[in-house]
Chains A and B, each alone.
Chain A
Amino acid sequence: MENLGIETQYGANAFLPGEMVEGTVSWQLDLPAETVELRLLWYTQGKGDQDIGVVSTVPFANPGLADRRAFRVRIPEGPYSFSGKLISLLWALELVAEPGSRASRLEITVSPTRQEILITPRPPVG
């Protein structure tokens, strides 16, 4: 059975904008892959169509059927992870093996407080 995994250093899943993320990826494939790469992306969920922004990619050269590799990727300045009534914006690290579009995803949080920002309606101020 195929398996792809992403682990961050110390199991961290919340990061500041601009912070460096380090960790390891591992995979065990039944069929060989031409490319295996780690992608850092944000995406939306909610009442609107999904938007996706792939911020950076880390390719792993000469991927074997089973391997374990280290990675370092810098979180950009934004956007922040947030959730409101209509839109949630989430961040993730995604390990993708092609062909076959086999993937594994690790959700992370990106914000100045390391917490998802909640923008639910609040009473008027002032």
Chain B
Amino acid sequence: MLARDNPFAVQRVLEIRYRLSGLTWEELLERLAALRFRAALVGPHGHGKTTLLEDLGNRLAAQGFRVRAVTLHEGDRRLDAAGRRAFFHGLAASDVLLLDGAEQLARLAWMEVRARTRAAGGLVITCHRPGLLPTLYECRTTPELLAGIVRDLGEEPPPKDLLARHGGNVRNALREMYDTCADRPALRSLASPQPLPE
């Protein structure tokens, strides 16, 4: 199967948004407000924290907040210049800061973020373990969740042990599904090419 036809291509997977479990978006936003908009989304790798953070950001933007987002990658121990500009300059109560990968920050850098973002209306982070900020939501995955995602992508249900083999990591499970589909015979190419007449 060609990359563009693969239902598990990154671009298609990213269109699947987060599915809350046990509460609605309204309840989640109320909980966030009760935590004074300073909270953490907690969960292991590949459990949907980044997706949930993005969706939360969209809903906060729809409520009129100005959302500023920074993503940290493995080994990023401090915010870089762009991140510092986004997080520390010109903050107002209408600003909500989203920090993806907060556990990567060194202790001092995290303390700086907490101290220098007090003027913002909120700070929501993702991290692998609780402790940095009050937990707003703990991201969990289930085989049913994975099956639902796969169904939405138009494919047959995955093997029952797929998620367990990846330790609950939905992202890696979907990447394995990509490989499974990629090994299938290629589909016919797109509509016949129409060149210009001679």
Contact = CB atoms under 8 A, between A and B. Distances in A.
Q: Do chains A and B touch in the complex (CB under 8 A)?
A: yes
Contacts of B10: 45-50
Contacts of B178: 47
B4 A88 contact: yes
Interface in A1-33: 9-15, 19
Interface residues of A, number: 28
A84 interface: yes
Given A45-B9, A46-B9, A50-B11, A15 B196 contact: yes
A107 B3 contact: no
Interface residues of B, number: 21
B3 A86 contact: yes
B2 A114 contact: no
A13 B10 CA distance: 25
Interface string B185-198: 01001110111110
Interface string A104-115: 000101000011
Nearest to B197: A10
A48 B190 CA distance: 21
B3 A12 contact: no
A12 B197 CA distance: 8
Interface string A54-79: 00000000000000000000000000
Contacts of B6: 46-47
B4 A47 contact: no
Nearest to B14: A50
A39 B184 CA distance: 34
A92 to B, nearest CB: 12
A46 B4 CA distance: 6
A122 interface: no
B175 interface: yes
Residue among B3, B10, B175, B190 having the largest count of chain A Cβ atoms under 10 Å: B3
Interface in B30-64: none
Nearest to A13: B194
Contact of A109 (B2, B9, B11, B193): B193
Interface of B: 1-6, 9-11, 175, 178, 182, 186, 189-191, 193-197
Nearest 8 A-B pairs (CB), nearest first? A14-B193, A46-B3, A88-B4, A83-B2, A88-B3, A12-B196, A85-B182, A45-B4
